[in-house]
């Protein structure tokens, strides 16, 4: 077992499969005690066997690590508290939360119903907030008691949240909200010894399989650039004490690539110094758009940031 995370207690949600599973396994491999939190539902949130978390715990135990399973609903207010409590009860504390749980209900806007929208927002956005809220109460309480924290919040965003995605208005909105929430959490919780960062991963999971990206892409040397295992090393490092000076960032990660995503920033501006007349805005707006920074879109092309 590694030493990077020795003595750390880490909660990973959505850890029964895909990226969450890879994160949990790597975090345990680096010496942390892990709460494998996964409700065990289907991709759309419907009930399944619920055994995924226990299977990952067994993998960790077989490799010499220490972990427990927690099958709570992260989108449930009290369920999120029970996830935090399970870490404290089992391991005596909590150092890191990795918010990864999510579902998909992909539809075009004109076909998406209220439940499709609400269900995705509930798991991704509310679930990320709820777990963060209960963890931050724990860390704030320690701070008020004179105890030092070296806490970490690691959230999961998506290229869909950074750049938008057709047919995923609910998912894109949730992931964009998570990116913004991460920056807010970094500003709020720094005084309590807690950092907050997010990742925007590109990897093959059951979610990407719905988009036709499920095939393995193993290269001649046996390395698979699309494997979710490639995302886990960055998450493990962000969970460590070495990352204490890194906060409020969104990292793009996949294959062998790690990058920092640059968020919204002020672009070209025209100031008339008086109220605009609508009929004179056309040429001004078109020039502003033409001069604006263009955000690359995965798969080619660009969206103008305007």
Q: Is the same domain home to 188 and 96?
A: yes
Q: Residue 291: what pLDDT?
A: 94
Q: Are residues 294 and 169 in the same domain?
A: no
Catalytic residue among 158, 172, 240, 243: 158
- Active-site option among 33, 81, 126, 175: 175
Quote the CA–CA distance of 86 and 113 in Å, as a whole number.
35
Are residues 125 and 177 in contact, defined by beta-carbon separation less than 8 angstroms? yes
Would residue 44 count as lying in a domain? Answer: yes
Domain at 228, CATH number? 3.40.50.720
Identify whether 112 is part of a domain.
yes
Q: Are residues 159 and 303 in the same domain?
A: no
Catalytic annotation present for 287? no
CA-to-CA distance for 187 and 81, rounded, in angstroms? 22
From the list 7, 40, 34, 5, the residue with the least C-alpha distance to 22 is: 34
Contact 20, 232 (CB under 8 A): no
Assess whether 188 and 80 both reside in one domain. Answer: yes
Which residues does residue 253 pair with via DSSP β-bridges, in sequence order?
Answer: 201, 258
- C-alpha count within 13 angstroms, C-beta hemisphere, residue 77: 0
Strand (E) or helix (H) holding 151: strand 151-156
256 lies in the same domain as 275: no
Q: What is the DSSP letter of 124?
A: I
Q: Is 22 in the same domain as 120?
A: yes
Specify if 47 maps to a domain: yes
Range of the domain at 304: 267-306
- Please report whether residue 46 resides in a domain: yes
Burial 4-22 (b: 16+ CB within 10 A, else e): bbeebbbbbbbbbbbbbbb
Same domain for 62 and 127, yes or no, is yes
Q: Which of 80, 81, 171, 243 is catalytic?
A: 171
pLDDT tens for the chain, 306 residues long, are 789 999 999 999 999 999 999 999 999 999 999 999 999 877 766 656 668 999 999 999 999 999 999 999 999 999 999 999 999 999 999 999 999 999 999 999 999 999 999 999 999 999 999 999 999 999 999 999 999 999 999 999 999 999 999 999 999 999 999 999 999 999 999 999 999 999 999 988 655 555 444 455 555 578 899 999 999 999 999 999 999 999 999 999 999 999 999 988 899 999 999 999 999 999 999 999 999 987 655 544 444 433
291 and 204 part of one domain: no
Give the chain's domain count.
2
Please confirm, yes or no, whether 46 is among the known catalytic residues: no
- So what's the pLDDT on residue 206? 57
């Amino acid at each position: 077992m590694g030493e990077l995370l020795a003595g750390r207690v880490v909660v990973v949600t959505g850890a029964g499969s895909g990226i969450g599973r890879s994160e949990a396994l790597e975090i345990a491999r680096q010496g942390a005690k892990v709460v494998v939190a996964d409700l065990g539902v289907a991709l759309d949130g419907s009930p399944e066997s619920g055994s995924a978390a226990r299977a990952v715990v067994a993998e960790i135990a077989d490799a010499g690590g220490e972990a427990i399973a927690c099958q709570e609903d992260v989108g449930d207010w009290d369920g999120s508290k029970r996830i935090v409590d399970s870490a404290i009860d089992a391991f005596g504390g909590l150092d890191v939360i990795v918010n990864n749980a999510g579902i998909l209900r992909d539809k075009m806007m004109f076909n998406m119903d209220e439940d499709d929208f609400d269900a995705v927002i509930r798991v991704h956005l509310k679930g990320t907030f709820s777990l963060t809220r209960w963890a931050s109460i724990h860390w704030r309480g320690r701070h008020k008691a004179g105890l030092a924290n070296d806490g970490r919040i690691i959230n999961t965003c998506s290229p869909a949240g950074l750049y938008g995605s057709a047919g995923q208005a609910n998912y894109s909105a949730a992931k964009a909200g998570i990116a913004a929430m991460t920056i807010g959490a970094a500003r709020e919780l720094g005084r309590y010894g807690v950092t907050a960062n997010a990742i925007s991963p590109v990897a093959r999971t059951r979610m990407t399989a719905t988009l036709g990206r499920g095939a393995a892409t193993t290269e001649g040397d046996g390395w698979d650039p699309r494997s979710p295992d490639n995302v886990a090393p960055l998450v493990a490092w962000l969970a460590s004490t070495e990352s204490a000076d890194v906060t409020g960032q969104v990292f793009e990660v996949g294959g062998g690539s790690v990058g920092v995503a640059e968020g919204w920033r002020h672009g070209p501006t025209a100031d008339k110094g008086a109220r605009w007349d609508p009929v004179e805005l056309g040429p001004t707006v078109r020039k502003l758009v033409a001069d604006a920074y263009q955000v690359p879109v995965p798969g080619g092309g660009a969206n103008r940031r305007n």
